[in-house]
Amino acid sequence: MDALLLYDSASDEDDNDDKTTTNKNRKRSFPSDQLKLPVKRQALPQLPSFFSPIHKPSSSSQDHQGRTRSKPALLDSWPTHVYIQIPTCEQIQTILGRVTTQDATIHSMISNDNSFHLSLTKCLYLKEHQLDGFADMIQKRLGDTSRFTISFAQLSLLTNEENTRSFLTIEVGSGYNELMKQLKLVDQVVKHYGQPIFYEPPRFHASIAWSLKKDPLENIIQNSPEQLMKDLAYIEYEVSSVFIRMGNRLVKIKLR
């Protein structure tokens, strides 16, 4: 069993606060002797969005499959994440099929585009006026780097910094050194914005499932067929792009 690694649980799944405008119609009653003929009124224009009340996302664990926020939702705090997309393959689908059918407390982390994320940052929190500058600096540093290939070597169990969730991950074997070069460039930008850099030493991985409990994931690792991981290790993935998710904004950086 690999040692547990502490890392941020916030993901491309924590969203920025929604802004909505609410209008309340209130009625007043008058004595009958004060009633006047109705006067036709023009509708007032809607107030700009910065006057709108802020509705914070629900913090109830019942709304998020038992998950809890690692940080409270704050105004003008945009969760930001730099990552590489990993497409699913038959071997990963087989692993997911085994884990999600054996235990209902284990949840798949496959995204809507049928891929997984390999992180190059923790979940960062930037102000809105910082977003464009952050993306531009990442673009300048990574845009001139060459694409490369990676493969995965083993299943492992990682947990977040609050010990509230555990993750079944596949760790990178081949391509580790190339990822380190990318990480050093990204860390330069992260430090420039006063944000925490990636974990040291880095264990590059893609999380494929999560659970509130460690035991079900440990059982999966111990009982997974050895041949399944050997087959997975033979599959190479070309890394040709890096993505930046900033709240509801997505930036794609193509490598040379």
DSSP readout, 81-106?
Answer: EEEEEEE--HHHHHHHHHHHHH-TT-
pLDDT tens digits, one per residue of 169-194: 999 999 999 999 999 999 999 999 99
Computed over every residue of the chain, the mean pLDDT equals 80
Give, as one character, the DSSP assignment of residue 129: G
Rounded Cα distance, 95 and 202, in Å: 24
Catalogue all structural domains in the chain, each as residue range(s) with its CATH number: 79-254 (3.90.1140.10)
Kindly state the average pLDDT of the residues 18-23: 44
**Averaged pLDDT, 214-233:** 90
Using DSSP's 3-state secondary structure scheme, residue 215 falls into: helix
**What average pLDDT score do residues 123-127 get?**
96
pLDDT surpassing 70 at residue 1: no
DSSP E strand stretches across 11-123: 18-19, 54-55, 78-87, 107-108, 115-119
The pLDDT assigned to 47 comes to 40
Q: What are phi and psi of 39, to 5 degrees?
A: -110, 130
